[in-house]
Structure 1
Amino acid sequence: MTPKAFKPYGTPPPFDFDEYKDSFELWQRQWSIFMALSTINTSLPQTDRSSYTANILLSCLSKPTLRAICSMGLSDIELDDPDIIISKLRERCNAGRNCHVWRQQFAHRTQREKESADGWVTELRDLAQKCEFDSDCCDKCQDTRLLGQIIYGVHSDDVRKKLLQKGAALELDQAITILRTAEATQLQAAHLRQSDSPSIQQVKTKSGNPNSKLAARPSQQASQRYSRGPPAGAPPNGCWNCGAESFHQRSECPANGKECGCCGKIGHFKKVCSKNAPKPETAGSIIIGSIMTGELLEADVSPAGSDSRVTVSFLPDTGASIDAIPHQLYEQLFCKTPLHRAPSRAITATGEEIKNHGTFQATVKLGQTANNPSSLITMHVLKDLRQPVLSKATQKKLGVLPLDYPYWCVQSIRINVSPQQKAEMLKSLMAPHPLIFDGVCRPMAGPPCHFQLVEGAIPSAMRGSRPVAIPLLPKLKTELDSLEDQLVICKVVDPTAWVQPIVIAPKKDGGIRVCVDFTHLNNFIIRPKFETATPFQAVRTIPAGMKFFTVIDAFKGYHQVPLDDESAAMTTFSTPFGRYIPYEHHRNARVPRPLPTDGQLLAEFSSYPPAAHSPPQKDYQWEWTSHHESSFNEARKELSSSAELSFYDPALPTALHLDASRLRGLGFVLRQQSLDGKWNVVQAGSRFLSDAETRYAMIELECLGTAWAMQKCRQFLEGLPSFLLLTDRRPLILILNEYSLDKLDNPRILRLRL
């Protein structure tokens, strides 16, 4: 007689050594619950019961765990005994367990920020059981240790004060109640502080196309793999890598460095793997809350099989892929229409599931005119939806959106106008306003501006001026003369309490922009209040029916604002050509470091006197001896007596030679090619490596030398159209010339490149 097929109730709990090595008792409790619900011990014959249970147990083991069990040398009879298998699992998990180690972890386990009280207390209880406090003296030792750890490790100081106020009469249950009450009170207060801003929900449905790529893929970062909420099997406030109820650091996670049994990736367990959970199609967002009446569409809805027609105000949402109405509206208007089982599930934008009561077929039509299009749709009834929604597909059928939305593009307008006609048109437009288009900066009408300083402001006056690169000096002089001719600035010979530095910013057209650094002055200015509309507010005030937008830009707007004498003296700035009083303010500008546009491979080595080879060491007093003096004089004599020295000329070809050595340090030579083709030395320099820099990789060391040399030669290189960079490290040429920033994985090289 063929035995009757048997299927146990429930699902057996999976087991893995790495996952349950510290919580074997928890898995054993799950196994006992499964055995009680499965009816194996009551439905199967006594002869088949042990073998059947052992096979189910072995099927629950992960591949590494099953491989370990099979390698223990158990006989076939022993493998058919579930008690023997469970004892082997317990021995393997308990191997190396030491209560003193657990007690140290218990003493350092404090409540983390935003960690729930129940989750923290549960983990403390689990650690306390492993610490074996009950074996110390009595049964009350564990509760006493738990109470002390709760008082010591609670995150909030206010809650700790409440616990301490109870004194010696405080008990464990009272302490846990105080924790829960404080946590609930804090959440309620946070909800009361929240405003009634519009909330955002999202509806997801199953894709009818098996090759659909609309399902959003979570990123593969460790604890940030799920941008829409926790994965299936992971608590919202717990660890999304191992599935623990409480959150912990990545280094403390049991899944750290472990391979997933589902996707094979490192860093998470199978039970929280995203590939285990179904991935519904993204249907877009549904905006609910504060919705203007003008944004809604009124449509007539006729359920299938009914002659009645009901007008409903829908929100047209191009991000939604299903049509939906709130369950409350269904009860009011369509309660007699039967609902069918929903073929999809809906979730909010935070990943929480929203209940779908079902669907019904209905015809939707806009307006009362017979020529208006209509569409047969599937209407979903959602519980927590506040506003009826029309999907993007339905909007296309009803003519609300173009059929090729969102790929609709405006065709270019071509007008056959010759250059001569265009010039005449521009001339006729500019003729009525000659003072606007003559390129001269003039002051605006109105009283001059006055700067009001805070009480106790300390003037700042720099000595001299910031150095400017030699190739930029002629352009700076031309720009200053032009501003002085237009009466925008004027030279100052009298002493002033405030003197500001300048920064030169190159323009794309080859010119320069003179930017005054008013950082110190801005710290003492009392800024006047001037309310202006944001771009969004300004656009919302445009009347309906407008088709053209006009953009107006002021010509050197800050130059057009005059200052009174007191304020003008505060804005005095210093240049290599003297001090000036401006009538404008510029924001601080940062001059970008020019990168070489060409690279060649050339070995350039420098030798240094032996006395200079040893940099000063930490905790050692530096002493300049006669040996150092003679080495220094020898190096200076060699450098100054070279026949290859010359003055810098920005018109000559320039090359920067550099080299880096882990033993000798960094060195560079700046050369220029004279008219006879000979390369002469303009500047040279070197330095030792710091203790941290000696551990750089060679490519990092070469990149460091490049950045340092270019910074040292900035006065000669900045403003040049191009220069040669010669190095003996060919990969550095590719990094500087060809690699984009997103291709640089080394953070140190990326920082030096910037």
Structure 2
Amino acid sequence: MSANMSASACQTIHALKYKPTHSKPEEATRSEQTIKVCPRCSKVHPSQRCPAFGCVCYICHKRNHFARCCKSQRQECENLKTVNTLSIGAMLRDMPSNCKKRSQALKNSAWFSEVQINGAPINFKLDTGAEANVLPHTFLNGIPGRLCIKNTNITLVAYGGSRIRPEGIVCLTAATPTHTAELEFFITRCSTLPLLGKAACQELDLLRKVHTVSTQTIHTKDDLMKCYPEVFRGIGQFKGTYHIYLDPSAAPVIHGCRKIPFSILGKLKETLMKLEKDQIIARVHTPTDWVNSLVVTEKKNGTLRVCLDPRDLNKAIKRHHFNIPTAEDVQSQLAGKTVFTILDEKDGYWQVKLDKESSELCTFNSPWGRFRFCRMPFGIKSASEVFQQKNMEIFGDIPGVHIIADDMIIAATSHEEHDQILHQVLNRALEENIKFNPDKIQFKVSEVRYMGHVITPVGVQPDMEKVQAISKMPDPEDKKGLQRFLGMVRYLAQYIPGEAEITAPLRKLLCKDILWQWGPEHAKAVQSLKQALIEAPVLRFFDPKKAVVIQADASKSGLGACLLQDNCPIAYASRAMTTTEQNYAQIEKELLAIVYATKKFHQFVFGKTVTVQSDHKPLEAILTKPLSKAPARLQRMLLQLQRYDL
């Protein structure tokens, strides 16, 4: 290094200032003094052994110091170049330890890029606040070729005003994978990081000017996978661990190993070995209080799903009681949305890590010994609530995002809004190490399948796969078969007007005192249900800004209701009447239907003026008379309607 650089300047270049707080300089020990940088030669040496002693400075012509440490050199140069110290974060080797840690944290958070200098890779700090490129002298030995260092009268000014005179300037070839440029570098003796200034960064296309900030548009699923490859690779893990809380009075239960079908025995062993390798499960070699049975099911793609049968463990587990929204809750918030994306968290529950104690509770038997789940298994009764809570804590504050278990729907009114939400979700997932299944993505479409329904910009309709599955079912042959059929129909009951009335003869067969005897009326009811689902209307999304109409009706054995806006159905509802209710007078049944409708659609109608449509004319007179004039049973029903503006 040539010309006039003080030791204090060298210490402050690219460094954080350090101020001792507990001791005075004169109190330093002799051993500490021997490791200080000498102000006469800018080197570290034992006391009384300075190599500059007796030498003559060629700048001021005085003795006992080198020219690079001369204090008389204070003039400023016209070609002054400024380097921002704090944005570089380099540290000298003789810095105090606590200052080094602070600067190391700054270095780790900075933006670095590897650049080929004459073919040698060097990791540079990219600094848009710097007007010069700086290369420490120690890096020159690793650069091939003959280097010609030219003298310069340019002074580098560090943060705080400290000045450094570089050794000289060297012209080197800098290359990135896409660009090559001839750049000038200032060579310094200070222990700094290699630095690329603003102009060099732009010339090598490492930085670009951005005049407007916009969200990157993702057109296809492949674009999505390229932008966020890590989000769709492997199995994620929520931060922290989950502890399963047990009822202290519960007695542990140990189950034996169940028989495994020979046809899947080999595949099951491979699956368990892979899960052990992925640290989803771990072998157990010590006694455990709880041992559960293993349940194996086959997925659509032919792989096996390994679950627990923790029926006894579930009796002892304390639930978290976190609310899980229903499909209807989500559908009510989709009015006006036209662009949708569905994301499915890969092996959702397995992204929740268990602590050691909880992991041992999830021990299970297998033909190859005992294993324990290191991640939250399918089957325990608290799993869905814990998983929902963790998802809501991470993604719940993002507008346009709705989550049920491991299924997430992104709904937006435009492609631009959709992309902004999607980027926010995926960046959040990247930060939290959440992974999605690339095979189950429904990306940026106007019609998606979600929770057994098809979501469109117009409204919601039943998933035709489920409708076809129901329509192809044969007539039930026993009570269990009938229960299975009615259960599937019940899930789509919101699309069937008067479902309770249609299923009345079928429900009679389920009574305990009724013998199973299938007749024509039962076959007709089954066919009517199938036909109603095939012809199911599209239910519009609820819009809180529009007027609401309720249609209510009562038949001989059931109550029916329909919620409408703009003469379009929002939802259907029905239920069977009890034996006592079937003995009501017709006017009482009709008013009961209105009470049922308001309770069923409470979330939609409370706080709004609601128009009620009924085919029973006497109800008008009952509703206009004083409450005290009505019979006792009608009074009780009218009291329940007082909270609504009908």
**Coarse TM-score class (shorter-chain normalised):** under 0.3
TM-score by length of 1: 0.22
Structure scoring higher RCO (CA < 8 A, sep ≥ 6) equals: 2
TM-score by length of 2: 0.25
